[in-house]
Structure 1
Amino acid sequence: MLLNDFFTFQRADYSSFEHCCVPLCNSSSKYDTTLTFHKFPPDPELRRTWIESIQREKLHVSRFSRVCSRHFTGEDFQENGRLLKPGAVPVLFEWNQYSVSGVVEADGPVDGPVEESEAFLTEHNYALASETELKERIERLTGGQKFGLQRFAGSDEDIQFFTRFASYDLLMGFWTSIEHFVPLVVSMKSSQRDILSDTSVPAVPSLQPIDEMFLLLNYLALGSKLKDLADRYGIQPSTVSQIITTWSNFLYTVLGSVNIWIQEEKIREHLPAEFEEYADTTVILSCMELRYQRPSSSLLDGEDLSTQSTSRCTLKGLFGVAPHGAVTFISQLFAGSVGDDHLIRESGILTLLRPGMGVMVDQGFPVDDLARCKIYMPAFLSLRSRISGRDDRETLAGVHVEHLIGRVEDHRFFDTEIPLQLLGNINQLYTVACLLTNYENGLLGKADAERPV
C-alpha cells in the first residue's frame, strides 16, 4: 500500500538512510555505520556558517540534508562521541586534506560559471542541452570526481535536470518507497549472469544500488547515449546497458503492480479550476511515438523490420492523464504503422471507460469506439503550439493540458533513437518513464495549494 499511497497523494513523510551533502564525500549511513550524520543547526547565523564552510554551490538545505562526522574535529563532539557541541562547525574536507591548518578555498570561481549555470537551469530547456554542454556542466559540478546521486544532493535544480524529480526530497521519498524491494534487483542480476556468464570477461567496478537507479533516471531524463553514461560513471557501455535493463525491469515490476486508474469521484475531488467547463472529464488521451535503431541485418528472425523503410522503425503507444496531473493509463507499444482506431481497440482503454464518462482527445482522433462516452475535442489540443496569452477559460485549460502532457513528454528518452541493445526492453522503458511522472511532481489539482512547499 506504500506505493499506492505515495502515488495517490504524494504527501507521506518518508525517512531513508542518511547521506552526507558535502562535495566529494560519498558517506552513507547504509554503508558506513561508524559515522554519525548531523542536521544543519536551526540558528540562522550558525547555519549560514556551515553552508559557507561546506562551499557547495546552490546548496538547498532540506530536512534530509546531513553532514557526516568526518568533517568535524574530535573537539567538536560531546563526551558520548556522537552528539555535537553547541556552535560546532564542519572544517575538515577533501580540498583541505582534512586538516584544520589547511586554507579552505573555493572549488571554483563563484562568478561567471555559476551565473551561467543558474540561467541555464532556470530555463529548464533540457532539449537544447548538447552532449558538449552536458559534459562541461558535469565536469564543473563534480570537479571530475565520481559521478553519482550524492554529488547533486544539495541542489534541487541539478536533481531536476538529471532525473526530472522536482526535488531531492521527492527523489529520496521515492527511493524509500522502493528500497525494500531492491533485493529483487540482485536476483535479476544473478539471473542475467547465469544466462550471459563469460569467465573470460574481467569483473567491472559496481555501483551502489541508488546510483544504478540514478543512472537509469539519467538515461530517461536526458536521453543520453550509453557511451556517455559509461564515461560518466567509469564503467563499460555493456554494464550501462545491463543496469538500464535490470532497473527498467525492476521498476516495471514494482510500479506496474500499482493500480493507476482513478475512479471518477476521486478525480472530481482534485479537479483543477481550469476544467470547470469539462468537469466530467476522466482522462485525457494522447499518443506517443518512439524511434528505435534500424537493424543492419536480419537480427530479428521471423520479422521483416530490417527490410522495411526507416519510417517503419517506430513504435506507438497510448497514454492517459487525469485532469489533476496523474498518469492513469499506459498501453503497450504497437508498430508505428498501426492506425489510431486499432490502437484504441487494442490498448485496453475501452475496458476502463463507462457510458457517459468524459474523455478528452485531440481533434482528428477516431472516436467511433468511444461513442458511448462524452467526447471533448477542444481546439487547443490540436493547436497547442499556437496557444496565445489570452486570459479566457479555454486557453487556460489548453495551457493546463499542455503542461500535463508535457510532463510525460519532457523525458528526452522519448526523443532519442533507442539502441538495439535496449530494444528488448523498450516496453518496460516506455512504461516506467510514463509511470515515473506520478512520482516526480506534485498533483496539479485543488490539492496543490494544500501541499507544503
Structure 2
Amino acid sequence: MAQSLRHVYCSAPCCSNNKKNFPYLSFHDFPADAEVRARWVRAIRRDEGPNFKILRGSTFVCSQHFSPEDKTISASGRTRIKKGAVPSRFVWNDWGKVNYYSLPAVTPSVLERRQRPEDDSTEEEEMDVELLLQCHNYYKKPEQSALDTEKIDVQQRVIEELQKRLAGVTVKQSFGLERFSASDDDIRFYTRFASYHHLQAFWIQIEPATRRIVRVGTHSSTSCTTAAPDNDPPHRPSRCLPMIDELFLFLVYLSLGLNEKDLGDRFSIHQSTVSRIIKTWCKSHTTLKGMIGVSPHGAVTFVSSLYSGSVSDKELFRQSGIIPLLDKDMAVMVDKGFGIDDVVPCKVYRPPFLTKGSQLSHGEVLVTQDIARLRIHVERTIKHIKENKLFDTIIPLTICGSINQLFAVACLLSNYQNKPPVKVWAI
C-alpha cells in the first residue's frame, strides 16, 4: 500500500522536509544491513532507542542529505541510493561545505519532469530536482539595516527601564530597611535612630558578632544552637529575612510595640518566625557563679546554688547558706576579693594586701606562703570540677531548671574521680 503524503517526513535533525510540501525530493528507508543502518543513525546524530525507532516504510531520510555521487536515477525516473552510501549533508556541516551563495540567483522557469509510472508500489518514486533546492538561496541571511539596529537599541533601553521600575516596585512592596533608606524621618519613626547613616554605622559595629549569634531554634522556642568559631559555623535554622532586616524588625518591635501578627503581615513572614526573631535578638548570655567549700585535705565539703554572674562575692557568700554552719572556733581561708570579716563569727585568713609600703613585710611574706600552700589545693579542686565539659560551653535553656543539681553532683563526684590532693595528715 502506498504511503500517505502526510506521513512521509525526514528523520534527520533540523530538517522539516516532507513529501507533501517537497514533492520533488525523494525519501529513502533505512537500509536493511545492520552495519550500514548503524552508520546512517550515527551520521544523522540519532540514538536508536525508545525515543527513536526505525520502522520499515515509516522512517525515512530525504535525498537532500545525500551527495550527488551517492544517488542514481533509474530509467523510470526513480532516485535510488547507492549500496553502502551514507547521508553526509546536514545543517551542522554546512550541507557538505557547498557554497550556496555562489550559486546562480536566477531559477530556471521550467523544470523537465519525467512521466511517473502508473504502478502503485511502496517504493518512493520522485524525480530528483536537487538543483531546484540549490538554486533557491534559502540560506542567505538577511542583512541588518541601521534602522533595525536602532530599533533594537531603543527596545533594549526600554527593557532596562522597565526592569528598574519593577525593582523599585518590589522594594516598595517589601517592608524592609531598604524601603526606608531614603527617608531619615521614617528611620527615626520606626527605629528611633537619628538617620539611616547612624543605623548603618551601628550595623557595621555589630555585624561581625551576628555570625556567632545564638539563634532560637525552629522546632521549639526553648531550643537554641551553640555558637562556634567563624571558620566552623554551626548549622543554624534557615532565615526568612536578611540579618539586617531581622535587626530592623526587632527595632520596630521595640519602638512601636507592634504585635507579632502585625509584624508578620508587614514583613511577609509567619507569626512564629517573628517570635523566634524577637527572642533571638533580645536574648543575651549570662554567666553563673557558685561557691564551693574545700576542707584542708582537699575534699569538697560545701556546694552553693548558682547565681547570676553580676552578684558580688560578699553577697554570694551571704546567700549561700554557709554562715549558719560556722562557729567561733572555726577558721576560713578566702581569696582577696572576699570581704566577709563582718559577716562570719570566725577568723578569716586571706593573702595580705600590699598597702602603703613598697613591698610586703617579712611576716606578711611568711603568711602568704602558708596560705599559698593550701590555696593551690583549692585551685586544683576547681580545675577538676571544670573538667566537666558541660560547664565549658553555653548551657542550653532546656536544662536550666536542673543546673543547680548538676553542678552539685559534679562537685561531689570530684571527691571520688580524682586522687586526694593532700596526703593523710598524721595526728
TM-score (normalizing by structure 2) = 0.29
Question: Higher helix share goes to which structure?
Answer: 1
Q: Which has the larger radius of gyration?
A: 2
Name which structure has the greater RCO, CA cutoff 8 Å, separation 6+.
1
| Length-normalised TM-score, structure 1 | 0.27
